[in-house]
Amino acid sequence: QVSLQQWGAGLLKPSETLSVTCGVDGGSLSGYYWSWIRQPPGKGLEWIGEVVHSGSVNYNPSLKSRVTISVDTSKNQISLRLRSVAAADTALYYCARGVWEPDYWGQGSLVIVSS
Amino acid sequence: QAVLTQPSSLSASPGASASLTCTLRSGINIRTYRIYWYQQKSGSPPQFLLRYNSDSDNLRASGVPSRFSGSKDASANAGILLISGLQSEDEADYYCLIWHNRVWVFGGGTKVTVL
């Protein structure tokens, strides 16, 4: 049974870089799309981007200039970095796995941006 | 205009049926899209419910009761999630999702209340 464990900095100041990692236990990175999705408190879902085992990425154009998603196959981890954060980036950040659509989600990492 | 529009809320009685709509923006034809549906209960990550493209191309996720079903209304250019025999445990937020222009796009979500 695969398990997605997430961790990352919880409180950031404006202009800092958000970094969240998703560790995959009990399963392989291969054969799946690995997405990052975020949800501001009390609001809806926004897809940030995705990566596959080979490292190929695809980003949401709305965030593309600030986002880096990467994969570390040696550690079975996927990472998200979001540069120059602002209050609007305050959200629960989820990693999710899918053969196509994201159908298995981690528990989420809350990131708060505040001065 | 948003790519996907969902009513913000819907209330229904236990045992009733609830029809949740996901309307595509004018110029985006529902006929060419698979619609994915997710359920999110308070404090939990979204869970994939089902995908629907046609009666011959659809999938309900493992463990999802058969009272959850998908369809399309081409005249309204909308995807539909039908929940039959509503139960108190169905109280949640429901999101639709499509793959559009190489981006996963979520609807704004519908909050379902079981009265």
Cβ of A103 and B48 within 8 Å? yes
Which has the closest alpha carbon to A47: A5, A9, A102?
A102
Cβ of A101 and B97 within 8 Å? yes
Interface of A with B (CB under 8 A): 35, 37, 44-47, 50, 58, 60-61, 94, 101-108
Q: Is the Cβ–Cβ distance between A36 and A21 less than 8 Å?
A: no
**Ranges of chain B with pLDDT below 50:** none
Query: Is the confidence at residue A77, as pLDDT, over 90?
Result: yes
Cβ of B45 and A35 within 8 Å? no
pLDDT 10s digits, B19-28:
999 999 999 9
pLDDT 10s digits, A80-114:
999 999 999 999 999 999 999 999 999 999 999 99
How many Å lie between the alpha carbon of B46 and the closest alpha carbon of chain A? 7
Query: Is the confidence at residue A1, as pLDDT, over 90?
Result: no
Q: Is the Cβ–Cβ distance between A46 and A37 less than 8 Å?
A: yes
